Structures are given as C-alpha cells and as structure tokens.
Amino acid sequence: MKYSIPDSVIDEVRDRTDIIEVVSQYVALKKVGKNFKGLCPFHSEKTPSFTVSPEKRIYHCFGCGAGGNVFKFVIETQNISFIDAVRQFADSAGISIPQPNADNINNPLYKEREALKRANELAANYYHSLFHDSEAGLAARDYLKGRYFTGEILDKYNIGWASPGWRGLINHFHKIGTLSRKTVLQSGLVIEKEDGSNVYDRFRGRVIFPIKDLHGSVIGFGGRAITNKDNPKYLNSPETTLYQKSQTLFGMDMAKQAIRKEDQAILVEGYFDQMRATQFGILNTVAACGTALTAKQAGLLRNYASSVVLVFDSDKAGRSAAEKGFEILQEKGLQVKIVFLPEGKDPDSYIQENGADKFIEKIKTAKPYLESYIDTVVAGKDGNSPSKRVEMANKVLPMVGKVNNLVERNSLLEYFSFKAKIDDASFLTELKKSFLRNQPSIDASETETNSALNLERHLVHLILSGKETAQRVFKAVNLEEFSNPELKAIATTCLQMLNRNEDIEIDKLIDQTDDQEIRSRLTHFGLEPLEFDSTERTVSDCVTKFNNVHIKTKIKIVKQQRNEAEKAGEIEKSRELQNKLREMQLALTH
C-alpha cells in the first residue's frame, strides 16, 4: 500500500507511540497477564472482550471482531485518515514528516482525485454560503424551516443552495481561478453542451446535500427541487473517480461510530430521513442515496455491524425494495429486520410527528425480515384450503431457502405453519423434506473443505510464528491451493515480506490491507496464537495433511473423468487417466 509518508518514518512513529496510552484515552483498561482488557469502544457490551497487546502493538475485540494497530484505532475513534493519524502521533513524538513523495504527486489518478476533492470542497462552501445569504438563500431556508430542520443540523451537514441561474458556480470558480476546465468538467458540477460551445451549472434552484466518504471528504452532491415544477425532484452528481453511487451511503461518515457501538445499522431511503433521525439523536442511521441497495453498500455495513434494520415505505414499491435489500444483506451474512411505517409516512415525517421514542420502539420491536415476509404472504388466506396452502408455500419456500442454517430454516417453516394455521403435521414434514431434496446435507467433500480451511488457519499461524518456520511452509505448499481468500492474502503478503528480507510483524501487516476481514483475522491470530510442542513436526504434519486434501480432491476429479471415458468407449484415454490416478495415489503421504 502506497502512502505519501515513507515507510521508515511510519515505522519510527509506530515505535515511539504507546498503544496502551492511546487506547486508555477512550477505554478503561485493566492488565490481565501480558495484555490489557476493557469494554469495547466499538460496540455495546457488559463483559470486557476488548484486548490490547502492548508487545504486539495491536488490539482485537472478541465480541464484534474489530481489530487493528494504533493507527487504525485513532482512524476509527477520531474519524481521520491514515495520514492524519501518522501526523498526529509524529507531532506528539517530535518527529518531522517529509513532504509527499514524488511517486504520489506525479501519479495522474492521485492528481485527478486531489483536484476533484478541491473542486468539491470549493463548491460545498459556495453552496453553503449561498444558503446563508440573506436574500439568495431565503427560499431554501424557508423551505427547510417548513420541514422543521434546525439551523444546527443544517450546518452540521453543510447544507447548501444552488441559485436558479445557469452560471453561478461557474462564475465562482472563475473568480477563484485555481481550477482547470478539465477538473471542473470531470467533477460533474457543470455540464458541457454537445458541441462544446458552452458550459452551465448542473445544480440550479435546488437545496444541496454534500455527499461524503467515510473520512468526511466531499465526493459528490445531491440536489432537491423545492418547487413542483422542477423535475426531477432529486438530482445527483454523476460518477467520478471519487464518487461511485453503488459504494456510498449517505451519512456513513457520521454514523459509523454509532453503528459499530450498537452493532446495528438503520437503513432508510432518503437524505431527509437520515438527517431527521440524526437530528433526533438516532445516530446509527444511513441512507442509500435514493438508489437500490448494492452488494458493495451491504459489504460496507458488514464492516461495522452484524445486523441491519430496513425502514421502508409500506407501499408496493417499498416492499419490493425491502425484498431486494434483504437478499443482498443476507448474502453478506447480515441479520436483517424490517420496519414498515404507516401508509404515507417515511422516517422523516414519522419521527417529526411522533418523536424519537416511538420510532426507536419500532426499531427495537422490528421483526426478522423473513417473519415479516411470511406475515404478508399468509395475511387473509385460509390455511385449511389445500390449494391456498400450496400457493403460500410456493411463495415462502424460495425465500426461506436463502437461509443456510438448517435450524433457523426449520424454525421459519414452523413459524409459517403456525401463522397460516396449518395443523397438518405431514404438510410441515413435506416442506422440510423439500429442502433435503434441493439442498443436500453435508457430504465428504464439504467435510474436506472444512478440514482444508482449518489446515490453512494452522499454516498461517505457523507462518506468523517466525521467519524460519514461514520459509519451511512456503517451500512445501502452493499458496494457489488455499481456498480461503483472506488467509491466502495474508500468506501471500508474508511471502512478499520475506522476499524483501523483512520481518513478519502483525502490526505492519495490518497497514498492508484495507480489508476489514483480513485485519480482524490478523489481530485475532496475534492475540490468540496457537502453541506448538514441536514447530518442525507441526509444519510437517500440517503440510502433509494440506497437500493430501488437495490431492484427494484432484483424485475425485480424475476418477470421474476416467469413468466418463470408459462409458464413452475411449479406451486409450481411460488407461491414461488410470495411470495418472496411480501416480496421484502414490503421491499421498500416510
């Protein structure tokens, strides 16, 4: 990973920063053996599961999985960038930071992103100043006052106003004179006519919502019309190198701390919904920027919480959006609950009219999505009618089939049977059998997959235990045969460090990745290392078993190919495959 601060300086800052001292500013730590423990600052808990190792200079929560080094800790707790975290500790330690290196400064993508950040920041400040202008921003202020938003919350979000004219922002940029025409066009803040003869402002006569990344930098804008004659009602920035709609959640920069603390995100549909929730102190709320939820947005939420409450309209469109959202969140391993508000209400209007307490009560009593889905399917239908039973079951089964856990799946089928008032036990049994037919139980190959995964974990533990052990492992196994992508990535990075003659240290490995799952695994490895009686014998055993698992998998494939060749009458090919099988079986180590 390239930073604009040299690695040698980062290492010096790391060495001179006491992780216990830093974490203690946020967490009451108690010494337990070599480590320190306390209540996790990233989620609510009563029993301490947050562990800090001064020796390894890392932290890990065994409750929510949060983990990292001292830089990562202040990034998460203070909502700052990596560079800012290094600079902060460097200032405390009296270490001077050199100017950004030439590689970054001359990188075209880096230069483009920095220029776009500058353009967006200037635009955000311009729109916000217009909003506060006594005359120019009066209509916008009256509109938002009529929606009962406070001045404090509007300033917190840096809400702005784009005047109705065609060239207000363009003229402002010209006055400043520091932005190139190329940058202004790339930002999407202005639009060029097809013939290139002229340019004009994208946002005109609209309330402006700055859209920010996780670190609070403005990456795009949303604009809301305040009169019925202006269409569309909402207008967003086009995608740029900074702003990808599918990867962005409105308000995430403000909400991420609360989401991690609550271990739950509340997902609403619009800007005003998210702002209203924040205004009333419901801080773990984010919005999908008016688009259908995407897998990347779900993955972002998964980095901070284990559950999501969807709060959507109760109309047909809202229910359809909820179903699609459930499927995407479920695939990411998130628990999904749902709140449908009364018809004609959204979170903005509901909270404003009923207060935060009633909304929070709805969140607390939110049903698991699939239970709510079953309620909708069976509503008003007769479970005693054979045809209705089958009709309902055919709607429920595909959704319940998305749940991998057998116990949970059977529990949902029993819930369906109860809600539909189906007293026929044989019908419920038939429903359960349908899954056995369509989703086979675990067979030997799946058992072998689990076995391989455990072996991969052991091998990574061995790699992290020391240079010599790591070298023995790398000589004996093929990293391409690792099935788990996170473990493979860790092992590959360790190999690269060895090739550069660097020591393998977990807190340095953490800086090599932005992947939350990989960081969590690393800190977990660091704070719960495996103990080996004989490292040499353990390496030999693990390598043998690992290689055998993969040889057995290949043997199965070749056996199938041989049998198919025999059936097709391809005698020569069958013999060749049989000889290959013999060689592979001889390669198995017992």
What is the DSSP secondary-structure string of 296-338?
HHHHHHHTT-SEEEEEE-SSHHHHHHHHHHHHHHHHTT-EEEE
Q: How far is CA 68 from the centre of its chain?
A: 16
How far is 348 from 560, CA to CA, in rounded Å?
60
pLDDT of residue 1: 43
**The two structure tokens encoding residue 373:** 């889905």
- Map out the domains of the chain as residue ranges: 7-93, 107-243, 247-365, 374-438, 444-584
Kindly report the CATH class assigned to 247-365.
alpha beta
pLDDT of residue 306: 83
- Three-state secondary structure of 163-185: CCCCCHHHHHHHHHCCCCHHHHH
Q: Residue ranges of the chain with pLDDT lower than 70?
A: 1-4, 98-107, 290, 303, 383-387, 423-430, 432-453, 530-533, 589-590
How far is 455 from 488, CA to CA, in rounded Å?
12
pLDDT of residue 433: 64
Rg (CA), the chain: 29
Whether 302 and 268 have beta carbons less than 8 Å apart is answered as no
pLDDT of residue 105: 57
pLDDT of residue 207: 98
Dihedral (CA of 558, 561, 567, 569) sign: negative
Architecture of domain 444-584: Orthogonal Bundle (1.10)
Architecture of domain 107-243: Alpha-Beta Complex (3.90)
**The two structure tokens encoding residue 577:** 């495959």
Q: Does domain 7-93 have CATH number 3.90.580.10?
A: yes
